[in-house]
Amino acid sequence: MVVGKMKLTFQKRVKLAQGLWMLSWFATLGGAVTFALGCFLKTELRRRGEVMDNTDIHCVPNTLMIVGLASMGINYFASRICQDALDPGRFPRWKTFLKPFYGCSVFFTTLMLISVILSYIMKGSLETSLKIGLKNGIRFYKDTDTPGRCFQKQTIDRLQMEFQCCGNSNYRDWFEVQWISNRYLDFSSKEVKDRIKSNVDGRYLIDSVPFSCCNPSSPRPCIQYRITNNTAHYNYEHQTDELNLFIHGCREALVNYYMGLMNAIGAVVLSVFLLQCSVLASVRLLQTSMEAVAGQENVEVDSEGYLLEKGVKETFMEYVDPVLKLLWLNEVTPAEAKAEAGTS
């Protein structure tokens, strides 16, 4: 069953070729934008790599960069096809090239759609990665003398100030770790000894946070030590003085930032995907309508173009069967091939 059948006059074929030539260059530009967005997202993710536990989320920018480059190549060739479409002497040279061209085009266009879907569904993986990464970042905050962790404090401080956040889930996460290095503790002090002895792991835990958690919008000087002790500060109630510290956790802030970024990129790439589909469908109509007049003396007669000569399933199997046969042949061992030859 023919899919997408359409009758085209000579004038319509000319207009289709001209319009499609321009559309393909717009789609090429869209591919370049997709590649640039993938590079930008990759850079943004690498900037926060120290507070991420895994690199699964990088599949989104990696896919965007691949499909962006592929899209530029596909649409460049589409523009060349359109340019030669109305020249009876030049168009036939594309005949052997068109089948693999459509196969690659459909594959990478589908991959583009998958990248859009991934940009919307990776929130869970991103949140898990940040949860573990930020937890480790806070735990290693004090290790400024340890190789490989020397800049962990600087990373966390800059992160908290830039995104106006504190801790992993909230500022209380700092109460559960020793974020002050032993080299800055006075072990002759009774308070320090008592706090270390009161902890099973021998850590110095206090209800305090780093300076980077302080909210500059607070009307009073920042209180970052003895936060939960109302009597330690004049006219202070830690449960109501929300402006004193950033109340949002950095995981929430980073997830919102990256998901907002990926959702915006997904919307742009979806537009490029629709443009790409329009180009491929139009090239197919132009190709089949031109093949209908091939060999005729009068090339200005009306012709019919179509998207698929057969049904979707039959067309899909037509492309897949050669691949399956190739894989099947590769799986046959020399002994099996010899035995099969002997039986025949």
Residue found by looking up tokens 């908290």 in the block: 160
Residues 122 and 226 reside in one and the same domain? no
Residues 19 and 68 reside in one and the same domain? yes
Q: What pLDDT score was predicted for residue 337?
A: 47
Least confident of 8-17, 59-68, 330-339: 330-339
Classify burial at 73, counting beta carbons within 10 Å of its beta carbon; exposed 0-12, middle 13-18, buried 19 or more. middle
Given a cut of 90, is residue 36 above it in pLDDT?
Answer: yes
CB of 89 closer than 8 Å to CB of 21: no
Residues 242 and 296 reside in one and the same domain? no
Q: DSSP string spanning 203-254?
A: ----S---GGGB-TT-SS----SSTT-GGGSTT--TTT-GGGB--S-HHHHH
Domain of residue 231: give its range: 175-247
**pLDDT (tens digit, 9 = 90+) per residue, 258-300?**
999 999 999 999 999 999 999 888 888 887 877 777 666 666 7
* Percent over 70 (pLDDT), the chain: 85
- Which of 194, 215, 247 is the last residue before a domain boundary? 247
CB of 98 closer than 8 Å to CB of 287: yes
Residues 118 and 257 reside in one and the same domain? yes
Output DSSP code: residue 180.
S
Confidence band for 327, pLDDT divided at 50, 70 and 90: low
Residues 287 and 219 reside in one and the same domain? no
- Closest CA relative to residue 53, chosen from 153, 143, 112, 131: 131
Given a cut of 90, is residue 7 above it in pLDDT?
Answer: no
Residue 153 lies in a domain: no
